[in-house]
Each structure stands twice: as structure tokens, then as C-alpha cells.
Structure 1
Amino acid sequence: MLSRTLKYAYYPGCVAQGACGELHQSTVALCRVLGIELFELKKAACCGSGTFKEDSQLLEDTVNARNIALAEELNLPLLTHCSTCQGVIGNVDERLKEYQKTQPEYLGRVNNFLEKEGCLPYRGKTQVKHLLYALVTDFGVEEIVQRVTRKLTGLKCAAFYGCYLLRAQKSMTNDDPFHPEAMENVFRAVGSTPIYYRGRTQCCGWPLSSYAAKESFQMAGKHIQEALEAGADCLVTPCPLCHLNLDSRQPEVEKVIGEKLGLPVLHFPQLVALAVGVSPKELGLSRHVVDTKPVLEKLGIKD
């Protein structure tokens, strides 16, 4: 058992409190069971999902410096469960830490804006960490094994990392950005079987969906088809935006590619929480567009 209690400044983001409310629900449930303390940053703002910098890099940096400063005020790492939030906020944190040495005048402009809003300055004194890597590096894969009360034996899980989690930051010490294994290691820890396929580290197509829906859905459809052909029972993603394109829009994807898919898509904390005994109802599995009952039936779990 862990000799200490893990504590994080929890940044839920927007999508997990709206269209993918089950992600927030399952993250809170999982951390409660594992004994991880979350201190929600209720004053945090949307990270911008990469769009702020299209108008102004200073805008993206200032908004997210404020988000990070809120975690620094608690003297805790900032925890995300969204690959896009991780990519954006992590990239800002990485850049501003570098600017502390190379461009202090730029960081001064950022902190001047924060001061005008009555916010504490960005100090570069904490980390931005996705839930996946918090579990793998801080909590530990072996500790997860010890906490499993419901082995997910026989379930074939295909990870869908997407792109932001892996390659939005210059440095990634937790995993290989092109050949990651973190999710697959967790799959093994909870008793499920990892499925490998080509699209697992590629873009889901969500960024295209607002102006090139057909191309976006073709991308998503290709990934789902490849996972099905590899034998997957479900996709598992650490990003709610990927989840929207792969699950919520799967019926539209089917129309575009002219093929029935029906592949359930789980949020990463939902899968782990199932293995440590949390009920499907508490995880919001009924909220998904693609029915998750086949996953539960394969595991012999009643919803």
C-alpha cells in the first residue's frame, strides 16, 4: 500500500463537466476508491483547446498561467484527465518555465495581467500531469494490481491516445510519444488484454469536425474499423474530445463510411474504476451513445 496520500489540484476542464459529464463522475469515483485526494480548481478557466493562440499566444499563456497559479497556491500538481487540456496547459507551463530564464520580460507581462485581475503570479513551481501518468508514475502500476477487486479478464481493450497527450509538449519523460505503453500497462494491470492497431496514436479528427465534418468522420471511422479488425471489444481514451468524435458521433461516422461499427468507447478512468469495484451506474456508462452493455456482459457485470 502507498505510504502517503496523493493529493492533486484537480482541473476538470469544460467537456468533462458538460457533454462528457461521466468523465468527471468516473474520475472522482476512481480517486475516492484509490484514496487520492482531489482539490477541484473551481475558479479555473477553459484552457482554450489550442484555439486561443490562433489569436494571441499571450492570451493562451496568460489564461493558463492563471490556471497553473491556482494549483501553485495549493502547493499541489495540477491534475487533468483530458489530453487536450494536458497538451495545452502542459505546453504553456513548459514554455513559461523556459522563459523564466530566457525571456523574463515576457513572463513579466503575463504576471502583470494576472495581477490586474487580482490573481497570484505564475511561479513555475508545480507540474501539470494527466490522470493516466499520475496513476502510472505516482500511484504505480503494481499498486493498481493490488487494488483490483474485479479482474477484467477476457476484455480486449484498444487504447486511443490521440495526439495532444503524446506530442503537444517538447519533452515527455513518462512515455514514448510514438510508441507509448502506459495505457497498455494499465490494461494488463486490471486483467484486460491490450489490442494494438495503427491508429492508436493518431488524431481522432475532432479538430476538423467544425469545418470538414466528412473528413473528420472518415478519420474516426478508419481508427474504429482498424480496432475492430484487430479484435477490440472497446476503445479506451484519455481524452473527452476524442471520446466525442469516436463515441458521440459514431452514428454519423457510420453514415459517412457506409458501415455499421458499434464499438463501445470508454473513458480511461471508467475502465480502471470498473476493475476496482465501482458500479457502472456510478461511472455513468449509460450516458454513452454507443451502448456499453456488450462490455459489461463480457465481464459478467450487471448494470
Structure 2
Amino acid sequence: MPLLRYAYYPGCVAQGACRELYLSTTALADALDIELVELKQATCCGSGTFKEESQLLEDTVNARNIALAETLNLPLLTHCSTCQGVIGHVDERLKRAQVSNPAYVKRIDGWLQREGCAPYRGSTEVKHILWALVGDYGLDRLSARVTRALAGLKCAAFYGCYLLRAQDNISYDDPFHPESLENVFRATGATPIYYRGRIQCCGWPLASYAQEESFQLAGTHIQEAIAAGADCMVTPCPLCHLNLDSRQPEIAAVVGRELGLPVLHLPQLVCLALGIPPSQLGLDRHVVSTRSTLNKLGF
């Protein structure tokens, strides 16, 4: 029997532009004896844009995603901070509406019924993989599973926006003074690096209409992390990863200096500490080479 089971919601980016996140999450789950039951019928959460057209649209689409997990009697697990923020916030809103506005929830269930979907019950929890590691698996247990401690590696956390502040209630961390990522670093043997921008926006939402401002914002964070002595940046958000890693050469051109700071997905970092070979984690898919990080760890 697996130690933990979740209804796995991989989201869009991890199945496309950040395929390495999908690979490393699967490797992490296998190594920690966690069963992921993938929700293959799930749809995009809307990344916060559905509500610009219609709040009902965002709520209905994500009520369906949550209902898929509820039919399995499992918590919904995602490794995407944006998905966590959007789906988790919808879940909070609909749970309140079951008491304050049941007619609204009934309307949503009517749309779900038309599509042959189960109704939203509000019976489960939406959980990011970081919260699962910290709250369900436990840092002591994680530390005990480390076979290749990341000693000497200086890691700069980049939380981003959605994970910390999109929901009204987060029982796993302080939204303005978080420590969960840093505590995971410590459990793997790595050294946390603190800098001002670690809980700020990466600039991704600005990129479609104010690209230079987006790159300036991201560049500020990367430069602060480098100045603080970071060997790499680690993020729990694939959209932050896209902006900070895949666009880093363009960011460097805007800020007028070389950067070259590797950006790792959270599951990749933990997997390295569990002794999983880099070749299984898609570390060669990054735009900014991860070779300096791997060299420091003796790979």
C-alpha cells in the first residue's frame, strides 16, 4: 500500500513547455511511495483569466476539476502554484457559497450535470505538492529518505504570488514570511538563501503587454539572488520557471548584464537529494544550464 494517495492534477505547462516538471514529479512520488492517480479528464484551470469573462465560467470549470477528485475520495494535488491558487480559491468560494448562496452552487451543478459530470460536493482539499511534502509527508521523514545530501548548495526560493496569497486561508505557511521552501532545502541538506524578491511576482502576467517591465522585474529578483550568493533558484511554480529560466537570456539583455542563474523546479531539487539521476529529471531541458549546480553536487 502507498504511504499517501492523491488525485493528481498536472496542469497544462507541465505537460508541454515544462515537461521536466511532470517527469520529476512522477520520480518524486515513486521515490517517496506516493500514489498519484492522474485526472486525465481534467481541464485547464483558466490561469486566472476565465474570471475576466465570467466568474461563473471559472467556478464551473474548476468545480468539475474538484469533483473529479471528489469521486475518488482523494485530495486534489497539483505542482503548479497558479493552478493551486485558482482551483484552491474556487474551492474556498464554493464551500462558502454552499452556506451563503446554495442557489449559485446548484446552478453550477446544473451545468456539470448537463455534461454528465458529478456534482461539486466540497468534500476534499486542493493541495500543492509543497504543502503535501511539508504537511502530509513531513520534513523529518523526508530528511530520513535523503541519500545524497545537497551539502554546500545555496538555494534561493522563489515562491511567486499565487501559492502564498491567492487563497484566504493557508494552514501550511505564513503568506508574508514563508519558510516552507527553505525548510525543504534544510531537509535535503541545502542552505537557504534569503533575498527581498522571493515572495514577489516574477513578472509573467505582465509579459504579454509590458514585456520590458516584466523582464526588469524578473531581472531584479535574479540579480538579488545572485548578490546574496545563490547557486540556483528553486520555484514551486512552472509559470515562474518559464519567466525566470526560459526568458533569462532576454532578461539579461534588458538588465544589461550576464546572469546565468540555474532555476530548478522544486521536485527536481528534492529528487537530486533522493539520489535520482539528473538524466531522469529533465535537467537538460532548461534554457539556463544546470551544469554548475550539478557540478557543485558532484554529478
Unaligned runs of 5+ in 1: none
SS state at 2:131 partner: helix
The answer on whether the counterparts of 2:13 and 2:239 sit within 8 Å (CA) in structure 1 is yes
SS state at 2:138 partner: helix
What is the aligned length? Answer: 299
Counterparts of residues 100-179 of structure 1 (less than 5 Å)? 100-179=98-177
Deviation (angstroms), 1:173: 1.0
- Kindly indicate whether residue 212 of structure 2 is the aligned counterpart of residue 222 of structure 1: no
2:281 maps to a residue whose letter is: L
Percent of pairs with identical residues? 72
| One of 66, 72, 86 as aligned partner of 1:68 | 66
Q: Distance in 1 between matches of 2:49 and 2:250?
A: 25
Deviation (angstroms), 1:4: 6.5
| One of 167, 188, 191 as aligned partner of 1:190 | 188
Counterparts of residues 1-303 of structure 1 (less than 5 Å)? 5-301=3-299
Deviation (angstroms), 1:172: 1.0
Query: Which whole-Å deviations, capped at 9, do the CAs of 1:30-80 have from their partners, x for residues lacking one?
Result: 100100000000000000000000000000000000000000010000000
1:109 maps to a residue whose letter is: R
Unaligned runs of 5+ in 2: none
Q: Distance in 2 between matches of 1:176 and 1:282?
A: 33
Query: Which whole-Å deviations, capped at 9, do the CAs of 1:240-269 have from their partners, x for residues lacking one?
Result: 000000000000101111110000000000
SS state at 1:281 partner: helix
Q: CA RMSD in A?
A: 0.8
2:75 maps to a residue whose letter is: P
Q: Distance in 2 between matches of 1:281 and 1:53?
A: 40
Deviation (angstroms), 1:239: 0.3
The answer on whether the counterparts of 2:2 and 2:33 sit within 8 Å (CA) in structure 1 is no
1:134 maps to a residue whose letter is: A
C-alpha distance 4-282 of structure 1, shift in aligned 2 (>3 A) = closer
| Runs of 4+ with deviation above 6 angstroms | none
SS state at 1:125 partner: coil
Q: Distance in 1 between matches of 2:216 and 2:59?
A: 33
TM-score (norm 1): 0.98
Q: Distance in 1 between matches of 2:146 and 2:169?
A: 32
